[in-house]
Amino acid sequence: MIKTFPWLGAVGYAGVSMSVVLGFYAAGLNPAFLFHIPEMVIVFGMTFFCMLLSYRGMFMKYLAEGFLATVTLRKADSSYFRMSRAGSRYSLVAGVVALLPAGMPILLHMSAGPDYIGPRVCAMFTAVFWSLVLSQVLFRNLASCFTEERHWF
């Protein structure tokens, strides 16, 4: 059995987060652009409603069980594990879909200056960032709550 070090996952998440924030800052952009509302609505909304469409009533129970699983020890459940994996995939697809509203104006206005293009490129990366947060932080950790081998990060 391979020995895992859970604290390395926490270091990895912190490193990714700090890299993104420092990268935004170094490029002359405000890290507050990471909270670009339209892309967040697309990523979170599309993930939530895709899960609701796929699993219907079971998804609502999954939300409650997932919340409880983060604070208490739950028994392994393969259906919730599969739902977590599906949520991870849905959030990644939602991130790609969220690139379109930010990316299309760039393609249509290539002659525009950096004042027009810069914030839209930033919004595109915001969509990718939030889809990765949902996929790798939320759903990956929920999936580990519903398996026999529980490990965070």
Q: Model confidence over 72-121: pLDDT tens digits?
A: 887 888 899 999 999 999 999 998 888 877 666 666 666 666 666 666 77
How many Cβ atoms are within 10 Å of 14's Cβ, its own excluded? 11
pLDDT of residue 23: 76
**How much of the chain exceeds pLDDT 70, in percent?**
76
**Tokens representing residue 100 in the block:** 């379109």
pTM for the model stands at 0.76
CA distance linking residue 20 with residue 129, whole number of Å: 8
Quick one: pLDDT band at residue 71, thresholds 50, 70, 90? confident
Query: And the tokens for 86?
Result: 């599906």
Reduced to 3 states, what is the DSSP secondary structure of residue 74?
A: coil
- Residue 22, burial from CB neighbour count under 10 angstroms (0-12, 13-18, 19+): exposed
